[in-house]
Structure formats: C-alpha cells, structure tokens
Structure 1
Amino acid sequence: MDQTKILEKAQGYAVQGWDVAKEWLLSPQAWTQFGLLVAAYLLALFLTRRLQPVLDRLLTPPDEKTNVIAKTRRFILTFLPLMLPLLAYGLTGIGETVTRSIFDAGAVIAFGKRVFMFLAARILVNEVIKDPLLKVLGKYFLLPVAALYAVGFLDEVMTRLDQTVVPLGNLSFSLLFLIRFVLVGGAIFWLGRWSNDQTAAAIKRQEEMRPAMRELTAKAAEIAIFGLAFLLVMNIMGISLTSLAVLGGAIGVGLGFGLQKIASNFISGVILLLEGQATVGDYVELDGGEAGTIVKMTARAAILETYDGKWIVVPNEDFITTRVVNYSDSGSANRYEAPFSVSYDTDINLVPDIVESAVAAMPDVLSEPFPPDCELRAFGDSGIEFAVEFWVNGIDDGRHKYTSDVLFCIWNALKAHNIEIPFPQRVVQVKGEIRTRVK
C-alpha cells in the first residue's frame, strides 16, 4: 500500500515537472530568462578571468610575513574559487529583477540562480574547506540542503523533517532539530577550536611570562572558550540549562566513583602549572625510573621525550605524590665533573691552573654560579687522580655531550704542556732464587 502511494506521488511529481518543462520550452518569457541566465554566466566568467589574477596578486603576502594582516590576506585568498558562481549568482539576481518587472515572471532565471548557489556550495566544500570536521558537515549536510534548494524541494523536505518526531524516553525532538543542532554545534565548536588555537599561540608568544604560567593561562582560556561555546549552542537551540541538572548530577557521581583518577590527574595538573615546579622544557627523573624532557603538559598527563626518541606518558598525579628530580627547573645551570689522572712524574701544582684555564675558555662552560674548579681526588695505583667541576646550561646527554667535550679539552691542554696521562701499570717483584731443573 505504501509503495503504491509513493509511486503515485512520484508520478504526480513527474507529470508536474513535465508540464513545467513544456511551459518553459514554449514560452518566449522562459527563453528570455534563459538568455539572461547565459549572459549572466558569460559576464561572470569574463569578470572572473580579469579580476582573479589581480586579486590573487594583491592578496598574496610575502612568504616571510606572519602577522595578523598577512594571515587575514591568506584566509581571504582561499575563497577566490567562489568568485565565478557568486558573481553569476549576483548578476542572475539582477536579471531576475528585470524579468519580473517586465514579464511578471522569473521561474527559469530563479532556478538558474539557485543552481549557481549549489555550485558555490560544492566548490566551498571540495576546494575551500580544509578542516576535516567542516568538510564532513559540508559533504553530508550543506550539499544535500543546497541540492534541495536548487530543485525547489527544500521547504517541503524541512516541513517533513520537522513533523518527524524521534522519541527518547521522556524527551522527544524532530529530525530537523537534530540536523540544526549538529550543524550549529559543529560550526560553533569549530570556531571555538580555531579561537583556542589562535589564543594559545598568542599566549605562548609572551616570553615575559613563565612557561608554567603560559601553560596555565592557555588551559584556562581553552576551558573558557569551549564553556562559552557550549552555553552558546544550548542558548541558540533553545535548550534550558536547568534540564541538564540530572545529567550534571550523573557526571558528578561518575567523577566520584569511576573517574576519580581522571579528576585527581586534572587537579594535579593545575597544581603543577600554578607552582611551576615542572614545566615544558624541563628534564625530569621520577622515582619509577622515567626520565626525559617534558615536551607537552595536558589536563591528564605530562609527555616526556627521552633522548632515544621515545615518548613516555606520565600521569600528573605522579609529579605530586612521588619524588621528582628536576635537572633544569626554570633554566637553572647544572654541575658536572670530568675525572682524569696524570703521571707521578708530573708537577701536580701546575695541573689545576692549566685545566681550569682550558675548560673556562670553552663556550658552553659557565662562569656563574662558579667557574671551573680542578680538584685533587686521590693518589691512585697508576697515576694521580684529578677531577674538574664545571657548570653548564642543559643536560649532559642527547645532543649535548659536555663531559666528553671537556675531556677532549683536558687531553689537548695536558698534551700541550707535555704532561703525561698514564695508562694502567703494575710492578711485579720476584723474590728468591729461581731454579730451573732440566731433565
């Protein structure tokens, strides 16, 4: 029965469409509108070919420019492919006004104008939009809506969608409401994500702020932006926030039981950012043996990058409840030492001055808080043992090999002063007469 009704309705639409087509084909007014439509497209094509190179040259900033004006020019430049269909749409609108004033009719040219709008939407989705979320929304929502608008069925389809109610327990909503919610929510949250990226980039450029404070400010801005986006979506869609009280209570119970670890890590992350004891760029070592440079701090965990390229995800709670060794807190210097030995034939009174002068001349070695200090450590089996203590900014690992460079420097300095670096030696004394019996 339902299939019969659908076929009858489709047949009715087909007959109606054929009558409209015959009316257009046999009407001089329709042919006039068609001629104006073609003329509008050709004029738009001519203007596009003339204006697009000029606009492309004016809007393209130099490659080295990265300021706000340059970014705005590049953003506008991405919309140049829309010039042809939008110009055709505008010129066709002028032609529609003319035909309606002369013939009191404009169905053909109005249809062409809607087709140009569909072409603009198609170019927007396929060529202009690069964001994956917006591309999906455009492909599955914007293009079908534009196609229905082009053929004149949009109002009828929207009425049917509004009449189709989906029950969900004590709640119910129409399909049209659901589609609007997805479109509005997706667009607003994309705008929120874009705003958050721009805000975070602007905050991280503030070099006068401590790294920890920059991270905390960026997180606070992120929470504020997406919180505002959520409230804006709820307000636009007409959803009362009081109706979310039950949902908020359920989330609170979940945080109290199943999500307490997540809540603990989140609060620990806020404490870390406030105190600034460990921040991005610090080299840390935890009690569990994890060690590396903090490359990112999220609401849940910190990401350490080891010198062999591995990433370790450490929960924020571990930084609060366990012992943490920070080798580079706030960019402070670190002290290392390089051991070496000299021969017993050496005048050891000369060694400290020679070594300290050579090491102090190295570019990576600091004079503050203390200059290089060469100390006598022991009288060893093979030589006299020394060690030079020195301070550097950074960790003696990975791409920085400070101790290795200092040892090279010591070797060259001692060789230049003819001071011998001994190798392991043993003196063997044989007591008593050795008798050899020959059989």
Structure 2
Amino acid sequence: MDTDTLPPFVAQALDYLAQGWDIAQGWLLSPAAWSQFAILVVAYGLAVVVSRMAVPRIAKVLTPPADNQSALATARRFVLQFLPLLLPLIAFVLTGVGEQATRSIFGSGEVIAFGKRVFIFIAARIFVRDILKVPFLKLLGKYILIPVAALYAVGLLDNATLFLEDTRVQIGNIGFSLMAIVRGVIAGSILFWLGGWSNQQSADYIEQQEIRPSLRTLLIKAVEFLIFGAAFLLLMNIMGINLSALAVLGGAIGVGLGFGLQKIASNFISGVILLLEGQATVGDYVELDGGEQGKIVKMMARAAILETFDGRWVVVPNEDFITTRVINYSDSGSANRFEAPFSVTYETDINRVPDIVERAVATHKDVLSEPFPPDCELRGFGESGVDFACEFWVNGLDDGEHKYTSDILFLIWNALKDEGIEMPYPRRVIEIKGGMPGQD
C-alpha cells in the first residue's frame, strides 16, 4: 500500500499496526516467547491463589473495632482500601522473577516485559474502579490514569510523550508545548482540588476556635488566598511558563484596567477593614443610610449580603459600610429598646396604670431588667382616652421569629382587663342646630 497519499496520522497508525503485526508474528513463532507466555500464565495463577489466601487474613488483622476512632485505627482502615491491588502486584513481582530466568536462558524477555506492563494497567484500573471514592478523582483516573496506563502497556507512551513535547503553541512571547498543557490540566486539577480540600479543612478548624467572628472570617479568607495563590504559582512552574513574562503582562493589564477597577479595589479594601474592626459581621442586623436593612448572611471580597425578614437578599457593596452611617442592631453586648403604645378611658384612675403594666410586662421571659426595667410613661391626653406607652428592653429584634411588641400588648390587655380598666372607643360630640329634622 502506498502510504504517501494518506494523511500523516493515518500513515503513522498503519506503521504502528505493521510493527505490532511483526512483533506478534515473532512472538508466535518463537519458543522463547511461548515459554514467557507460560511464565505469565503461571505467575498470574499463583498470584490468584496467594491473594485469595492472603486477603482474608490481612483484612482480619487490619480491621479495627467499629467503635475505635483512634489515629492508628484510621490508618488501618486506610490501608484496607488497597487490598484489591494485591493480586496484580503479586503477579507483577512473580513475573519479574520469571523475567530474570528467561533473560538468563534465552537472552530475551519482551513478552514478560509486556505482561508486566499489562499487570500495571490492571492495577490502575482496579485502583480507579474500587479504591477511588471521590467523584472528581474517579473522573480524573478514568480519563487520565487509565489511558496513560493503556499507552504504557502497549509501548506507545514514549511516542505519545515525544509527539506532545514536539508540538508547540506560541502566544505572543510565551510558548509552550502540548505536553505542558496536558501537565497543566492534570496538575491544575489535582492542585486546585487539593487546595479546595485543604481550604475546607482549614476553615473547619478556624471555625472551632474561640475568636471574634470577624477575625475568624478574615483568617479563613487569608488562608484561602494563600492556598490558591501557592497552587497557581506551582502550576505555572509545572507548566514551564516564565513568571517574569506574566509579570510584565500582568503589569500592563493592571495599568490598563486600574482606573476601571477602582470601585472593586475600594470594596475589597473596605471588606478587609470591616473584618479587622468587627463593627459589622455575619449574623448582625444592620440598617444603612440608603435604606437597606437586613441580617448579614455572607461577607465576600466585594460585597455583603443582607437577608431581610421577608426572605429577600440585598447585595450591599462593602464601601457603603465605611462611607455611610450604619445602624447595627445586633452589636455584641447591646440590647434594643422598644415601646408598646396603648390608651385607657378618662374614667380610669391613671395613677394605678404604670404599676399594673410594668408588673405585667416584666413577666415576659425575654424582657430585661438591665439596663432598665419596663417603664410605663404617660404620653398625652387624646381625643378618646389617656395615651400611655410602655418601654422595654430585649436582646433581639422585634421582627422575624420574635414578636416582642405583640406579646407585650397582649400582656397589657390582659392585665388591664383583670383590673377592670377599659380601653376607650372613639368618642364624638355632635351638635345639631335648629332642632331635629322633621320637627315643627
């Protein structure tokens, strides 16, 4: 067949097929090859027998009691996961012993070398199928590790590596090979997965420490920045990208975008100041000059998210917390004062009302005696009755899950009713001039 007219990759594939056929013919017609095939079969059979005998015994020794959560027990459980690899590893070792014998007798061991590579491929497949449990790592093993092991088993890994190294991509002054891209994808996936995992572990550890919530959030963000920054620099080094070229490019981009990103930089710095000062942190209920109010549920690099009592989320730039007036209803150690207005009829002995109401309001479980106990005040003389208001202090807000004013008004109503004190109805005096209609 004339391969000159075929596409290069087709011609290359046909060349590999021809080489494979020549190798297969040589093996089929060679007594040394047949002896090596026999050694592979015997080695695999012995590996099956040994693994079936050894795995149950090893598992029995390594398996700790179910209630044992010590570091040693955790390590033993970790080792137990790798027992499925025992079969291909034993076969690999036994085949290596047979390889030494065939090379000393026949001077060749290509068939056994191929068999050893096949056992490595089997081990990689078992590792991905039975041992890896994390979905991301399982996906990476399925589409990266197993294909690489397959190429290594058939002896094409070096050729594939050479092809990827020779194929280069140029972007401006930065050039890198396809192998660098492959290494970057693999290393980047692993590095940033490890970064996410270690960041979560660090965040969980910091959350357990008894430190100020705002400082805790700042530490979590700082650790996250350090972890992923280190992962990025390491990835650039693995890919072989010159960081000095990136520095020049980054400087040019920074100058070009600096004016357009002033607000973002301002919000980022404001967020750091907020976390350091701790004047507003996650869990606080705040009200800004612009009318935005709600509970802070998340503080990010650029903005904070407020959740209102009706379930809406309001995104507020961090800069607004620094440059405008902010009312924090939930500042640590503070209480809030509310008042419940009511009225009584003019026939009431109003001198009795304050004592009756204050005693009733003080029975509420959330009403505080400090900084001040409940205080019933006379507010004025209305058209229909005498107006009072009872001031009371609580730790919390009169909205959402708490209905303090409503509870207090119920207490006032019941207390006044028990004392025979009535609340007024609207009263109007109507004067009819000229007599009633229809009268002579």
Normalised by the length of structure 1, the TM-score is 0.86
CA contact (8 A) 2:366 2:394 kept: yes
Rounded to whole Å, the distance in 2 between the matches of 1:246 and 1:23 is 63
Following TM superposition, by how much is the alpha carbon of 1:57 offset from its aligned partner in structure 2, in angstroms? Answer: 6.2
Bigger mean CA deviation after superposition, 333-342 or 412-421: 412-421
The residue that corresponds to 1:422 in the other structure is 424
Instruction: List aligned pairs for 1:210-289, cutoff 5 A.
Output: 210-289=212-291
Following TM superposition, by how much is the alpha carbon of 1:389 offset from its aligned partner in structure 2, in angstroms? Answer: 0.8
Rounded to whole Å, the distance in 2 between the matches of 1:379 and 1:130 is 73
What is the one-letter code of the residue matched to 2:167? T
**19, 22, 29: which one aligns with 1:16:** 22
What is the one-letter code of the residue matched to 2:328? N
The residue that corresponds to 1:114 in the other structure is 120
Following TM superposition, by how much is the alpha carbon of 1:236 offset from its aligned partner in structure 2, in angstroms? Answer: 4.3
**152, 158, 161: which one aligns with 1:158:** 161
Residues 162/154 of structure 1: CA separation in 2 closer, same or farther (3 Å cut): same
The residue that corresponds to 1:40 in the other structure is 47
Rounded to whole Å, the distance in 2 between the matches of 1:415 and 1:111 is 93
Residues 334-369 of structure 1, C-alpha deviation per residue, up to 9 Å, x if partnerless?
111111112222222222122112212211111222
Residues 225/107 of structure 1: CA separation in 2 closer, same or farther (3 Å cut): closer
- 1:83 counterpart = 2:83: yes
Instruction: List aligned pairs for 1:134-149, cutoff 5 A.
Output: 134=137, 136-149=139-152
CA contact (8 A) 2:214 2:278 kept: yes
Rounded to whole Å, the distance in 1 between the matches of 2:34 and 2:402 is 84
What is the one-letter code of the residue matched to 1:309? G
Following TM superposition, by how much is the alpha carbon of 1:258 offset from its aligned partner in structure 2, in angstroms? Answer: 2.5
Rounded to whole Å, the distance in 2 between the matches of 1:405 and 1:56 is 59
What is the one-letter code of the residue matched to 1:425? R
Instruction: List aligned pairs for 1:63-74, cutoff 5 A.
Output: 73=74
CA contact (8 A) 1:283 1:326 kept: yes
Structure 1: tracts of 5 or more residues without a match = none
Rounded to whole Å, the distance in 1 between the matches of 2:358 and 2:324 is 39
The RMSD of aligned alpha carbons is 3.1
CA contact (8 A) 2:343 2:424 kept: yes
CA contact (8 A) 1:337 1:388 kept: yes
Following TM superposition, by how much is the alpha carbon of 1:24 offset from its aligned partner in structure 2, in angstroms? Answer: 8.7
CA contact (8 A) 2:297 2:305 kept: yes
CA contact (8 A) 2:336 2:393 kept: yes
Structure 2: tracts of 5 or more residues without a match = 104-108
SS, match of residue 332 in structure 2: helix
Rounded to whole Å, the distance in 1 between the matches of 2:219 and 2:397 is 28
**154, 174, 196: which one aligns with 2:199:** 196
Rounded to whole Å, the distance in 2 between the matches of 1:326 and 1:259 is 29
Residues 124-177 of structure 1, C-alpha deviation per residue, up to 9 Å, x if partnerless?
69x51234xx45544433332122223332222112211222222333221112
SS, match of residue 250 in structure 1: helix
Rounded to whole Å, the distance in 2 between the matches of 1:277 and 1:94 is 65
The residue that corresponds to 1:128 in the other structure is 133
The residue that corresponds to 2:351 in the other structure is 349
Rounded to whole Å, the distance in 1 between the matches of 2:61 and 2:311 is 48
The residue that corresponds to 1:177 in the other structure is 180
Matched residues, number: 426
SS, match of residue 370 in structure 1: coil
Following TM superposition, by how much is the alpha carbon of 1:269 offset from its aligned partner in structure 2, in angstroms? Answer: 0.8
Rounded to whole Å, the distance in 2 between the matches of 1:291 and 1:285 is 4
SS, match of residue 347 in structure 1: coil
Bigger mean CA deviation after superposition, 258-267 or 239-248: 239-248
Bigger mean CA deviation after superposition, 13-22 or 33-42: 13-22
SS, match of residue 27 in structure 1: helix
Normalised by the length of structure 2, the TM-score is 0.86
Residues 50/174 of structure 1: CA separation in 2 closer, same or farther (3 Å cut): same
CA contact (8 A) 1:216 1:273 kept: yes
Following TM superposition, by how much is the alpha carbon of 1:18 offset from its aligned partner in structure 2, in angstroms? Answer: 2.8
- 1:102 counterpart = 2:101: yes
Instruction: List aligned pairs for 1:23-62, cutoff 5 A.
Output: 27-41=34-48, 43-44=50-51, 47-48=54-55, 58=65
Bigger mean CA deviation after superposition, 316-325 or 96-105: 96-105
Residues 376-432 of structure 1, C-alpha deviation per residue, up to 9 Å, x if partnerless?
111222221111111111211111111111111212222222222233333435466
SS, match of residue 330 in structure 1: coil
Bigger mean CA deviation after superposition, 424-433 or 283-292: 424-433
Q: Taking every aligned residue pair, what percent have the same amino acid on both sides?
A: 54
What is the one-letter code of the residue matched to 2:398? D
Residues 431/54 of structure 1: CA separation in 2 closer, same or farther (3 Å cut): farther
Bigger mean CA deviation after superposition, 329-338 or 251-260: 251-260
**270, 290, 293: which one aligns with 1:291:** 293
Rounded to whole Å, the distance in 1 between the matches of 2:410 and 2:349 is 21
Rounded to whole Å, the distance in 2 between the matches of 1:394 and 1:370 is 15
Residues 164-205 of structure 1, C-alpha deviation per residue, up to 9 Å, x if partnerless?
222223332211122112222222222222222222222222
What is the one-letter code of the residue matched to 1:407? L
Rounded to whole Å, the distance in 2 between the matches of 1:69 and 1:342 is 71
Residues 42/432 of structure 1: CA separation in 2 closer, same or farther (3 Å cut): farther
Rounded to whole Å, the distance in 1 between the matches of 2:114 and 2:205 is 51
